[in-house]
């Protein structure tokens, strides 16, 4: 009767553990589902967006400062570096000194590093954590986070990454997450253009698009743009091309990211001619050829309808 119970021992657990409070600023197409996933996981989410948008399960603050005042963790998802800097200047004076600040925006490396320095001065841990996966990934909680910051900040952020995504990679010190995102999307923009060009050429050569896919997707032309996000409607897995190119990742966002890549390349004297060419093609597509509001894979009908001198 007195022997140890081992695994049969009664364990008393506190079922009233309170999850941290998250102040989430930027509830757009990406931010709202991310915030909703955190709320569904039990986090107390206080959201704010200048457009008045909300997220399911989150309470609404009257200002960005109000959203972060009682927050243990602050998350931002914002359009660009200038807005990030302005929001950081607004909220850091109201942020608790032991809080964690996770920025999920895609911005220039220097803005990320500047905000990291401001956060450190306020005794706030900072992680730059841009994402890959688009609106679908934000909704499904399957995003990939590319992060920069201290190891301590990354480890503290990891439980939130696990809720909002399926993978998080610590890339290095502050700004490294943005550097990884910029390089990744420069590759993506260039390979999507090459994929669309190849389909347009195949059309003119009389090659069936499905046959083209069957060959390329299993040979040396394999790429994410071809195999997972095929720009040809009715070919390969479901993608925005099957929904009249309704954006999963908008062409104007690709234009923004390619612009960031060339800004970074100029800053460090890197030779990136393919990235520069991709930037100019997407600029023309978005600003002059009706690409705004279309998925970035809508380059295919753009190329398919043009000749060599167009």
Residues acting as catalytic residues: 181
Q: How far apart are CA 159 and CA 157, in angstroms?
A: 6
**DSSP-derived 3-state class of residue 118:** helix
The conformation of residue 229, written as its DSSP 8-state character, comes to S
User: In sequence order, what E strands does 106-200 have?
Assistant: 125-128, 131-132, 143-148, 165-172
**DSSP-derived 3-state class of residue 121:** helix
**DSSP-derived 3-state class of residue 171:** strand
**DSSP-derived 3-state class of residue 127:** strand
**DSSP-derived 3-state class of residue 197:** helix
Q: How far apart are CA 37 and CA 249, in angstroms?
A: 20
β-bridge mates for residue 100, sequence order: 73, 125
Residue 74 φ/ψ, nearest 5 degrees: -115, 130
Dihedral, CA of residue 151, residue 155, residue 160 and residue 162, to nearest 10: 110
CA count, 13 A, side-chain hemisphere, 56: 9
**DSSP-derived 3-state class of residue 32:** helix
Q: How far apart are CA 254 and CA 261, in angstroms?
A: 10
Residue 79 CA, chain-centre distance (Å), reads: 11
Q: How far apart are CA 133 and CA 264, in angstroms?
A: 22
């Amino acid at each position: 009767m007195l022997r140890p119970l081992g695994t049969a021992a009664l364990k008393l657990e506190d079922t009233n553990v309170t999850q941290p409070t998250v102040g989430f600023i930027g509830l757009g197409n990406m931010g709202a589902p991310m915030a909703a996933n955190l709320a569904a996981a039990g986090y107390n989410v206080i959201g704010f967006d200048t457009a008045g948008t909300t997220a399911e399960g989150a309470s609404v603050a009257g200002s960005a400062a109000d959203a972060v005042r009682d927050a243990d963790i602050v998350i931002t998802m914002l359009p660009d570096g200038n807005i990030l800097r302005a929001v950081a200047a607004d909220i850091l004076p109201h942020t608790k000194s032991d809080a964690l600040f996770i920025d999920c925006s895609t911005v220039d490396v220097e803005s990320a590093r500047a905000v990291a320095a401001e956060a450190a001065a306020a005794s706030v841990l900072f992680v730059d954590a841009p994402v890959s996966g688009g609106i679908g990934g934000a909704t499904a909680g399957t995003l990939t986070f590319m992060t920069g910051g201290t190891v301590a900040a990354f480890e503290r952020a990891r439980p939130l990454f696990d809720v909002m995504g399926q993978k998080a990679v610590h890339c290095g010190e502050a700004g490294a997450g943005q550097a990884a995102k910029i390089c990744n999307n420069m590759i993506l923009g260039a390979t999507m253009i090459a994929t669309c060009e190849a389909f347009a050429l195949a059309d003119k050569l009389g090659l069936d698009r499905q046959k083209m896919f069957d060959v390329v997707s299993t040979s040396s032309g394999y790429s994410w743009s071809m195999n997972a996000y095929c720009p040809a409607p009715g070919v390969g897995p479901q993608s925005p091309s099957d929904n009249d190119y309704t954006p999963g990742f908008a062409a104007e966002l690709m234009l923004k990211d390619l612009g960031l890549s060339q800004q970074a390349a100029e800053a460090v004297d890197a030779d990136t001619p393919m990235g520069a060419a991709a930037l100019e093609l997407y600029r023309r597509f978005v600003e002059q050829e009706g690409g705004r509001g279309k998925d970035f894979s809508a380059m295919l009908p753009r190329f398919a309808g043009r000749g060599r001198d167009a």
